[in-house]
Amino acid sequence: MGLGDSVPGVSGGTIAVVTRIYEELIFSLRRLDVTFLSLLVQLKLVESWRHVNGSFLLILALGMLSGLLLSANSVLYLLNNQFEALMAFFFGLILASVALLSREIPAVRWQFLAAALGGSLLTALIGSLEPVGASELHPAYLFFCGLVAVSAMILPGLSGAFILILLGAYDTMLIALTNFCWLRMGVFLAGCFAGLLLFSRLLSLLLRAHRAVCFSAICGMLLGSLPLLWPWRAASPVDSVAENTALALKAAPVWPLTFSEMTGDDPRLLTVALSFLLGAALVLMLSRLASQKPEARKPDPVAES
């Protein structure tokens, strides 16, 4: 999830859905509530830990942080040197995810189709927005960026990294991670924590009341994110990413032959095809592994109320 969240156009929530931990994640975050605080005040540490599914959240958080730290330099390198292959990998990953997620929708009904269309349009609308100019960012603005971006991160199909690009904070936070700027990282993470507390409550209510509609919207959001991941762009990705991360993603998608004629670069068809298949195969492998693990903890109606 950490690696996925660091790539513009990819959502860590997508990885959570593929690995079948999405619902457990949302309902565990939802349990960071008054009951949890009350147990902490009473020094009932074991009960409070169990209440929030603490082991699950801690291991997941450590994994995400490790992925973000590992990707701080590697993602920039891949965007600069293997843009087409990286985008094709996630294109295959998301397309295969939609095929698997569609099994969660019991039948073809108008409300499910409407939810899918709405999710796709929402992602496309966000993807069409122009990024703001990057400048010295105030801590309050970094807090706001964390709050908004983390809401996108836990929504499959909405890229938290791309939201940061739109807000002009993507490069700032990558540099902060690389150089260990603790103040900026702390303010940003505080915003992320606040966003998780607020947004997880809304998502938990929607998942309990309208599960099939939610998964229809998720499929729509994933499909709506595919144009951002098209490997070939009118501008040369290497030059664009080197100048500004947003430029390569905002350049118009083109066919491979057109890309070669316009940029003079090799479209790397074989590399792109193999990367696409690798992404799709990874989803199938993760889904098979996830199906072999014990069922995720179901929400407790009493605790959720």
Answer whether 0.85 is exceeded by the pTM: no
Span 260-285, mean pLDDT? 88
- The pLDDT tens digits of the residues spanning 10-67 come to 677 877 877 778 888 888 988 888 888 899 889 889 999 999 999 999 999 899 888 8
Dihedrals φ, ψ of 273, to 5°? -65, -45
Q: With bands split at pLDDT 50, 70 and 90, how would you rate the model's confidence at 3?
A: confident
Q: With bands split at pLDDT 50, 70 and 90, how would you rate the model's confidence at 296?
A: very low
For the chain, the domains span 2-133+150-158+198-304
The residue whose two tokens read 């099994």 is: 103
Question: What is the number of alpha carbons within 13 Å of residue 164 lying toward its C-beta?
Answer: 28
- The pLDDT tens digits of the residues spanning 103-132 come to 778 777 888 889 889 888 887 777 676 666
- The rounded distance, in Å, linking the Cα atoms of 148 and 158 is 11
Q: Give the closest residue to 176 by CA, choosing from 145, 131, 152.
A: 145
Q: Token digits for 256?
A: 């491979």
Q: With bands split at pLDDT 50, 70 and 90, how would you rate the model's confidence at 302?
A: very low
H helix count then E strand count, the chain:
18, 0
- The rounded distance, in Å, linking the Cα atoms of 91 and 227 is 9
What is the model's pLDDT at position 17? 75
Span 168-180, mean pLDDT? 78
What does the angle CA 87 – CA 102 – CA 95 come to, to the nearest 5 degrees? 15
What is the model's pLDDT at position 298? 47
- The pLDDT tens digits of the residues spanning 63-86 come to 988 887 777 667 767 777 888 898
Q: Residue 142 is which amino acid?
A: L
- The pLDDT tens digits of the residues spanning 131-165 come to 665 556 788 888 988 888 887 777 776 777 777 87
Packed helices 269-292 and 83-101: angle between N→C axes, nearest 10 degrees: 40
Cβ atoms of 29 and 22 within 8 Å: the answer is no
Q: Token digits for 128?
A: 């069409």
- The rounded distance, in Å, linking the Cα atoms of 177 and 188 is 11
Is 191's pLDDT higher than 60?
yes
Cβ atoms of 221 and 120 within 8 Å: the answer is yes
Cβ atoms of 94 and 221 within 8 Å: the answer is no
Q: Give the closest residue to 224 by CA, choosing from 150, 119, 114, 108.
A: 119
Q: What residues form DSSP beta bridges with 233? A: 253
Is 274's pLDDT higher than 60?
yes
Span 254-267, mean pLDDT? 84
